[in-house]
Amino acid sequence: MPYIKEPHYFSHTEDVSFGIKSLEDYLDLFSKAKAAKAVGEASVMYLYSKNASVKIKKTLGNKVKIIIILRDPVQMIYSLWRHNVRYQIEHLSFEEALAEEKVRFNLAEFRANNTQPAVFFYCRRALFVPQIRRYLEQFSHDNVLLVRFDDLRDFPEDTYRSILEFLGLEWYEPSSYDAKNIGGTIRSQKLHDILFNPDSVCRLPFKIFPKKFRRYLWVCAELFNRKPGVAEKLDPEIELKLREFFLDDINELEKITGWDLSKWKFVD
C-alpha cells in the first residue's frame, strides 16, 4: 500500500476533482513495491464514481482484484457527516445536510465551488447496488470480493484470512487487529487550518522539498492531528426514516450477496 492511502486517480469526475492526476505520479506511488506479490490502494470514491470501474479496467486490465467493503448505509452516512464536520467542510446539522442533499446535487454553483462535492451526497453514496453492479459488469465475479464492514470489525482474523485467499497470498500474521483511523476530533485547529489551506504562508518553507516528500509530510501531520472521540447517538426518528429509505436497496443487496442484512433494516 502506498503512503497515500486514497490517491483517487481513477475517480476524477465532475463530483471528484482531487487526488493524483497523472498516471506517472500514480504508478510512482508503487515504485518501491519491486517484487511484491500484490500492490493496492484504497480510494473510497472509486465505488461512487460512475467512471472509475471502466478506467481501472482500461488502464490496469481485467485481472485486477477489486475489494468492496460495505457498511450499514445509515451508519456509513452518519460517519461521513461526522467526518465532514470534523474537517470543517460541513456546517449543517445531520438532518439539515440530508434535507439539503438534493439541492446541492442539482446546483451547478455548488459543484463548481467544491473540489469534492460527492462527499456531501450522503444518501446517494450509500445506495450500494448500482455502484456494485458497475464493477460486476466490468470484472469477473471471481475478481470482485464483497466484504461486510461488520465482519471486518467483529471477526477481523477470519475476514483478513478470506481477503488473503482472494488475493492469492500466503498467510501473514499482522501485528494486531486493532482498528485504525477511528473517527474523532482534531488536536490542533491551527495545524488543521495550515494543512487544509494550500495558500497558508506557513506552508511556503516546505516548497523547497520535492513534491513526493511534501505529500508524505502532509499525511504524517494529518494523522498526528487526529484525536479519537465518541460519536453522539443518531436521533431515532431520523434513523427510522433512513432505514425506510434504504430498505429496497438493502433487499436487493441481499439477493446479490446472499447475506442476511436484517440488522441494517431496523432500528436497534
98 and 225 belong to one structural domain: no
Asked whether the beta carbons of 65 and 143 are under 8 A apart, the reply is yes
For residues 235 and 2, which has the higher predicted lDDT (pLDDT)?
235
Question: Looking at residue 181, what is its pLDDT?
Answer: 66
Sorted by sequence, the CB contacts under 8 Å of residue 212 that are 6+ apart come out as: 28
**Residue 15 reports pLDDT greater than 80:** no
132 and 16 belong to one structural domain: yes
Query: Is residue 198 included in any domain, yes or no?
Result: yes
203 and 75 belong to one structural domain: no
Q: What is the mean pLDDT of residues 74-84?
A: 94
Domain of 257, in residue numbers: 9-183+231-265
208 and 106 belong to one structural domain: no
- Supply the mean pLDDT for the chain: 89
159 and 204 belong to one structural domain: no
Question: Looking at residue 14, what is its pLDDT?
Answer: 60
CATH number of the domain to which 27 belongs: 3.40.50.300
108 and 64 belong to one structural domain: yes
Question: Looking at residue 111, what is its pLDDT?
Answer: 81
Query: Is residue 2 included in any domain, yes or no?
Result: no
226 and 132 belong to one structural domain: no
Asked whether the beta carbons of 169 and 161 are under 8 A apart, the reply is no
Phi, then psi, of 113 in degrees rounded to 5? -95, 5
Query: Is residue 3 included in any domain, yes or no?
Result: no
Structurally, the chain folds into a number of domains equal to: 2
Query: Is residue 161 included in any domain, yes or no?
Result: yes
- Tally of CB atoms within 10 A around 128: 23
Give the CA diameter of the chain.
55
169 and 250 belong to one structural domain: yes
Q: Which of 88-97, 205-214, 218-227 has the highest mean pLDDT?
A: 88-97
**Residue 160 reports pLDDT greater than 80:** yes
Smallest CA-to-CA distance from 220 within 52, 4, 18 is with: 4
Strands (E), 94-173: 144-148
Sorted by sequence, the CB contacts under 8 Å of residue 176 that are 6+ apart come out as: none
